[in-house]
Amino acid sequence: GAGVSQSPRYKVAKRGQDVALRCDPISGHVSLFWYQQALGQGPEFLTYFQNEAQLDKSGLPSDRFFAERPEGSVSTLKIQRTQQEDSAVYLCASSLDRVASEQYFGPGTRLTVT
């Protein structure tokens, strides 16, 4: 079956531009996660949804980062006024339910801010 998909796979933005990154989770998966992965580092948690409710946004680095999942399926991570330090791979993952279950990751979106 189809896995988690993300688009675009690559995005180049000029500093100050807004970007929107899309995640299509596995159908029926309740939980959706966003992670940020800097070069040479492990992924770091950004935010988490259970259905359409954003239950944890403690990892969002600033108020320029905003995520939504309005109908409990597709999610969008938006970054306003991008800065060079936002350059990273943004990973989306989904899982069947909340409690410590296996997470399925998409291939990520590589964002480069110039």
Q: How far is the CB of 91 from another protein (least distance, A)?
A: 5
Binding residues for another protein restricted to 45-104, rule: CB under 8 A: 45, 48, 55-56, 59, 91, 93, 98-100, 102-104
Binding map of another protein across residues 9-48, x = CB under 8 A, - = no contact: ----------------------x-x-x-----xxxxx--x
Query: With contact defined as beta carbons under 8 Å apart, do 11 and 109 qualify?
Result: yes
Alpha-carbon distance of 15 to 106, in angstroms, equals 26
- Residue 22 exposed, middle or buried by CB count within 10 Å (0-12, 13-18, 19+): middle
- Which C-beta is closer to another protein: that of 48 or that of 65? 48
* Measured CA distances, 88 to 33, 54, 73, 101, 109 (Å): 16, 22, 24, 26, 8
- Interface contacts to another protein, rule CB under 8 A: 4, 31, 33, 35, 41-45, 48, 55-56, 59, 91, 93, 98-100, 102-108
